[in-house]
Copies of this chain bind each other. A is one copy, B any other.
């Protein structure tokens, strides 16, 4: 049994995202993937490497959304506090996971690298957590309850997400069509509002672009029903053509 709509949130963790040092690449990637599979990303928060802020944000999000995806803070250094914070949010101990210890221990042994205390930190998880495989660099992410905890390094985040996606319940995909409109929003706002009102089961978004001193607009129609999508798209296209024929080219 599938729900029509499955909703999710993302919690991106890391001082570096808030200082500007690192420009996040995971939010947009997660958004793309979730949209493609039929999960609606409804909120994102970015918080610093501070336990109380992570716990608070996570507890606020996890009761509200079907799935929460986190990025960052699961490495071996002192500023990697995500596993502890997640354990705290769930009220369970954070401890070395036997399966992760074995997996990582074998991997380091095969490479002739010492499996130090700090490397073992990456095998710590909230009690009851389930692994998310990491084909890039071994140290696993994990999920507990509806929370999926992944690395911040984009290649690792993406690889972990690839492993998570097939395990999720998905909703009916939100289909979308895009119509380019060579006019600014001011020229289309009234008829577009009327089209939105006439097509209540669609979501029509208007996205202005400003290039070479001129505004244009991308109109995006979204709906879970293909017929309703096409009907609204047709109305939007007709509107753009009507305005084009009424406004002399500039």
Which residues on A are within 8 Å of B, measured CB to CB?
Answer: 15-24, 27-29, 31-35, 40-49, 53, 75-80, 113, 116-119, 121-122, 136-137, 153, 155-156, 174, 176, 178, 185-186, 188-190, 192-193, 196, 203-210, 215, 220, 222
Residues of B within 8 Å of A176, CB to CB, are 19, 21
At the interface, is chain A mostly helix, strand, loop or mixed? Answer: mixed
Residues of B within 8 Å of A136, CB to CB, are 210
Please state if A75 and B208 are interface contacts (CB–CB under 8 Å).
yes
Please state if B16 and A207 are interface contacts (CB–CB under 8 Å).
yes
Residues of B within 8 Å of A15, CB to CB, are 203, 205
Do A137 and B32 form a contact, CB below 8 Å, given A19-B176, A189-B76, A189-B78? no
Bound: A242/B22 CA distance, A:
27
CB distance from A22 to the nearest CB of B (A): 7
Ordered nearest first, which 4 A-B pairs have the shortest CB separation? A118-B189, A20-B31, A20-B32, A44-B46
Please state if B48 and A45 are interface contacts (CB–CB under 8 Å).
no
Please state if B23 and A189 are interface contacts (CB–CB under 8 Å).
no
Do A35 and B53 form a contact, CB below 8 Å, given A24-B27, A121-B189, A188-B77? no
Residues of B within 8 Å of A119, CB to CB, are 186, 189
Please state if A16 and B220 are interface contacts (CB–CB under 8 Å).
yes
Residues of B within 8 Å of A47, CB to CB, are 42-43
Please state if B28 and A75 are interface contacts (CB–CB under 8 Å).
no
Residues of B within 8 Å of A137, CB to CB, are 210, 215
Cβ contact of A31, chosen from B18, B45, B222, cutoff 8 A: B18
